[in-house]
Structure 1
Amino acid sequence: MYAESAPHSNPVLTKKSERKYSGIGAALIAFGIKYSIDNGCRGDVMFDAKTDELAKHYAEDFGAMRIPSITNGGPKRFMLADEAAWKLFSEHLVEEVNEDEAK
């Protein structure tokens, strides 16, 4: 399933004031960044854009960089790494603090 599939939450298909949920795709990418960090991949993530509008959204709003697709004529593939990945990660995920460590 694609993160942007739900039309009522898609920033490309629905006006911001009419969206039921906001930030779902960004939060899912942030969790992907966390998974990448937890598995020793420095927080780098790659993902595909199904439409030109989503490609523009990923580049402009997330700072994602366009990279070559595996197949010629394949989907528009993006990579989020370094400062852009950290910015998205820090905006959407908060570190949990163990109550014993906080005291």
Structure 2
Amino acid sequence: MKKIEKYSLKTKEGNLIALGAYRVMGRKAYVYILYLESAPASNPTLTAKREYYGIAEVMIAFGIKFSIDSGCRGDVLFEAKTPELARHYEKDFHARQVATLNSGGPQRYMLADEDAWNLFEKFLAEEEP
């Protein structure tokens, strides 16, 4: 069984706002984001006025970093639980739909190459010497 890495995202005050689970797949071909959940108050498909912005972006960017660190070139694969999330991933992240494992199951998306880098670089910062 492949190792699953689990991470959370919290505010400075310690409020939990996201959870994610990541696993290297396909002989280090990509990282599969098994689970990605943001707090309902920040989910753009559940509320018009969000408390926090960019939660999925941060968690997917972390998946890209995990992919790079694991020798997978930054490629990530994830699923959209709803049609609204599918549109959000396509429009805002430029994710590309890929084949699903099960007919009728959630839509699968991949971020790779330049699209993955464009998302990842939003969170890069230069280190102080």
**How does the TM-score come out when normalised to structure 2?**
0.68
Note the aligned Cα RMSD (angstroms). 1.5
Whether the aligned pair in 1 keeps the contact of 2:38 and 2:56 (CA below 8 Å) is no
Percent sequence identity over aligned pairs = 58
Query: Counterpart of 1:24?
Result: 55
Q: Which residue identity is paired with 1:7? A: P
Structure 1 segments of 4+ aligned residues over 6 angstroms from their partners: none
Q: How does 1:72-83 map to 2 (within 5 A)?
A: 72-83=103-114
Structure 2: give runs of 5+ residues left out of the alignment.
1-18, 20-34
Whether the aligned pair in 1 keeps the contact of 2:42 and 2:50 (CA below 8 Å) is yes
Match of 2:44 among 2, 7, 11: 11
Deviations 1:12-31 (A, max 9, x none): 2212xx21111111100000
Which of structures 1 and 2 has the larger relative contact order (alpha carbons within 8 angstroms, sep 6+)? Answer: 1
Structure 1: give runs of 5+ residues left out of the alignment.
none
Q: Write the distance in 1 (CA, Å) between the matches of 2:68 and 2:97.
A: 21
Q: Write the distance in 2 (CA, Å) between the matches of 1:28 and 1:96.
A: 20
Match of 2:124 among 75, 90, 94: 94
Number of corresponding residues: 96
**Bigger strand share:** 2
**How does the TM-score come out when normalised to structure 1?**
0.84
| Structure (1 or 2) with the larger CA radius of gyration | 1
Q: CA deviation at 1:43?
A: 0.3
